[in-house]
Amino acid sequence: MTSDETRILCKDGLQITKCATNKYKLRFHLENNIIYIEKIIDFPLIKLVYDLNPDVYEQTNIDKISDTEARVTLLLKHFFEDLGMPQRYSYVHMTKHVERNNITFVTKSITNEKPPGMPIDSELMPIQDLVASFDIVTPHMSSVTFDILFDKRFNIPVFVEKIIAQILFKVFTRVKQFIENIAI
């Protein structure tokens, strides 16, 4: 964590910080001494994130365009309905980049169309950029960093930041535990 970052959550090896207005960072490690971590970092891992969390995601779809590109549609549960906030969905184009000891997924929102099957009154989650970086530390361990930048017009109240941090903690703790407990 740098001096410019404000810690929102730090628990069980997972850290979520606020770097600037609408800019967040999530960090954790994945380790399993039985599998080669690099081999599982691909689009099926992205799908696993959603499949392990049906209480967070109402609907998910990954349309793999090529080995390095996918179009992802997610409908989140309507967490803030009682507060009068709209249900959110994410519709993104994701590209995978592989370099020596690093695998990165770069995600950009698709804003020019609404994907089929989304509720009429749902709204796009205004993610400007999302970069998921997996640094391969050893063959069995990766340092994971998600850099998330929301659109500057999107207002995120402090209490919502804390709720979202708890949801992200739950989502990625499940993925981390699943991967760390794989036994072949």
pLDDT at 87 over 90: yes
| 57-67: pLDDT as tens digits | 999 999 999 99
Q: Mean pLDDT lowest for which of 6-15, 77-86, 133-142, 174-183?
A: 77-86
| 10-33: pLDDT as tens digits | 999 999 999 999 999 999 999 999
Instruction: Tell me which fold the domain 6-157+167-179 belongs to.
Output: Alpha-D-Glucose-1,6-Bisphosphate; Chain A, domain 4 (3.30.530)
Q: How confident is the model at residue 46 (pLDDT cuts 50, 70, 90)?
A: confident
pLDDT at 41 over 70: yes
In the chain, where the domains are located: 6-157+167-179
Predicted confidence at residue 26, as pLDDT, reads 96
pLDDT at 126 over 70: yes
**37-73 burial, b for 16+ CB within 10 Å, e for fewer?**
bbebbbbebbbebbebbeebbebbbbebeeeeebebb
pTM, to two decimals: 0.91
Predicted confidence at residue 161, as pLDDT, reads 87
| 146-184: pLDDT as tens digits | 999 999 888 888 888 888 899 889 999 999 999 999 887
Q: How confident is the model at residue 1 (pLDDT cuts 50, 70, 90)?
A: low
Arithmetic mean of pLDDT over the chain: 92
Mean pLDDT for 34-38 is 94
